[in-house]
Each structure stands twice: as C-alpha cells, then as structure tokens.
C-alpha cells in the first residue's frame, strides 16, 4: 500500500520570520530539514510526502523546491504566490515550469479580514489556478468555514483541500458550529480534507485517542473516504506528539474502514489530488 504524508513543513528557524513559534513551542524552535524527516518516513513506512509553505514569500518556493529536487521522497510542494497580484497570470506561467510545484496556500487563518478569500483580487487569483493545473490548500479556523464554502462554490472545477480539518477546538470539545460548517463545505465535491493538525488543537499534554473520534466521524461522514487524506503536520505536531503517535491515532480510527478506503486515505487520495509521480 502506497503511503503519502500529504502535509509537512521544513524551515530554517528565524525568530522574527517565525514569530508564531512562541516560547511555549520550544520543541520546534530550531531548523527542520529533509535530513530530519527522511528517517522518520522510513521508520513509519511512508513512501513520500508533500511539503507545504510556511513563509509567504517568493523565496519560500525556491527554498522548498530546492529541498524537493535534492530528495526524491518529497513528491510535491505547496508553495505561496500573491494571488492578489495584478500579474498573477504571468507569475503562474513562470512557476508552471517546476514539475514538483503542485499548488499554493495562503495563511488565511491569520488574516485580520476573516473574509479576505472573497475579495475580488483574491478570487481573480484563484480563478487562474485551474488553467495551470494548480491546487489550492485552504488554511482557516472554524469561523471562516462559511466564507470557504462561498469561495469554493464559485470554482466547481478547481481542486481545493481543507488543511487540518479547519482547526476545531478539540481541547474544549467544541464541535457544533464547526460540524455545521464542515457539512456545508463538504457538499462541494471538488473539496478534499486533510486529517492533519489535530493534536495541536487538543490538550498537548493530556490528549487521548477518544478525543479525536467525534471529529474524525464528522470528517469521514461529510467528505467520504474518497476525499480524506493523511497528513502529519510535522514538525508542528511535535509540540504534542511524536510522528508515530500522530500516525497511530488515525491508524486506530481507520482500522474499521475497508481495505480500499484505507488505501485511498493513506496514499490514493493525495496522489490523485496533487497529481504525484
């Protein structure tokens, strides 16, 4: 069975650029590079991965694409581009030359304007992605799910994937509003979902497997096994769990799924979505 980690990161730690990595997250206040991840993938039987942007700069694409060209296990890169730029089409044309560059992401969860994704300039950028075969990763908090549904409704042919199940407050067991938003978003069949980033939304020290079950139930019921994929969110996840523990919590959950559904979850869906080689 092919296994793909659809969501992980690399960075050269910089206190200013990565100010979101606060003192509380001491475990990840350092460099994380392919040499750190390679052995973990091997140890956990993962065949390849998709690296996702951290910084919102053109230099980020160069950095991640360089890592990808040096390491075969990095099957794809989700980079960053200023979707609101007037010359967005020219930029996409140029970026299309990189075979491992699969799509883009903007850190919408951190924007003061919670509905930035619905601004005309942003929508214009999204409208160009399909022509160049690029995907789009949606990184939001639950309060933005309603805007995400409005966004994807306008682009039925654009492949979207929701990162980190939209970061529900697992620690405080808040589920009702989030569930409603997920169900609305999942109605659009061009939207996939990454079962990733959950341990960081739970109690970092005291989480238990059962904490995640209600959230995974919602995701699998809403999206179906054909649109959910595994992502570790390494190394961010290290603040709350080891790579093996992150794998273990979803492995435990999907053990009840059919063999075909498990194959889709572990690698099939990510391979299809990102067109991985």
CATH of the domain at 227: 3.20.20.140
Beta carbons of 95 and 81 less than 8 angstroms apart: yes
Nearest CA-CA partner of 137 in 277, 275, 274: 274
Q: Answer whether 0.75 is exceeded by the pTM.
A: yes
Average of pLDDT values for 33-62? 97
| Count of structural domains, the chain | 1
pLDDT at 23 over 90: no
Beta carbons of 215 and 183 less than 8 angstroms apart: no
Q: Work out the angle between the directed axes of helices 243-254 and 34-43 (0-180°, nearest 10).
A: 40
Beta carbons of 197 and 226 less than 8 angstroms apart: no
Cα–Cα distance, 185 to 219 (Å, whole number): 11
pLDDT at 10 over 90: yes
Peptide bond into 136 cis (omega under 30): no
Cα–Cα distance, 155 to 130 (Å, whole number): 9
User: Which domain, by its residues, includes 215?
Assistant: 4-274
At residue 16, the pLDDT reads 87
Token pair listed for 75: 């099957």
Pairing of the two strands 101-106 and 135-138: parallel
Apex 112 CA angle, 170 and 215, nearest 5: 15
pLDDT at 2 over 90: yes
Location of structure tokens 């003061």: 112
pLDDT tens readout for residues 134-179:
999 999 999 999 999 999 999 999 999 999 999 999 999 999 999 9
Nearest CA-CA partner of 104 in 118, 120, 86, 117: 117
């Amino acid at each position: 069975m092919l296994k793909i980690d659809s969501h992980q990161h690399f960075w050269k730690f910089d206190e200013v650029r990565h100010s979101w990595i606060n003192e509380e997250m001491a475990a990840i206040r350092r460099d994380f590079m392919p040499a750190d991840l390679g052995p973990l993938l091997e140890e956990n039987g993962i065949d390849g991965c998709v690296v996702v942007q951290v910084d919102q700069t053109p230099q980020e694409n160069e950095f991640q694409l360089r890592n990808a060209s040096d390491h075969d296990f990095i099957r794809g890169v989700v980079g960053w581009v200023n979707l609101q730029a007037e010359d967005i089409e020219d930029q996409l044309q140029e970026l299309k030359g990189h075979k491992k560059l699969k799509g883009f992401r903007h850190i919408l969860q951190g924007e003061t304007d919670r509905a930035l994704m619905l601004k005309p300039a942003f929508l214009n950028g999204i409208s160009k992605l399909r022509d160049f075969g690029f995907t789009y990763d949606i990184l939001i908090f639950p309060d933005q799910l309603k805007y995400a549904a409005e966004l994807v409704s306008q682009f039925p042919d654009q492949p979207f994937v929701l990162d980190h199940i939209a970061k529900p407050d697992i620690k405080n067991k808040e589920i009702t509003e989030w569930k409603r938003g997920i169900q609305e978003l999942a109605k659009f069949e061009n939207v996939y979902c990454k079962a990733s980033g959950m341990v960081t939304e739970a109690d970092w020290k005291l989480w238990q497997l059962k904490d995640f079950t209600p959230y995974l139930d919602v995701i699998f019921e809403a999206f179906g096994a054909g649109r959910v994929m595994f992502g570790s969110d390494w190394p961010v996840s290290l603040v709350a769990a080891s790579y093996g523990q992150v794998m273990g919590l979803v492995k435990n959950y999907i053990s009840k799924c059919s063999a075909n559904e498990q194959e889709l979850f572990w690698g099939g869906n990510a391979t299809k979505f990102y067109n991985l080689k």
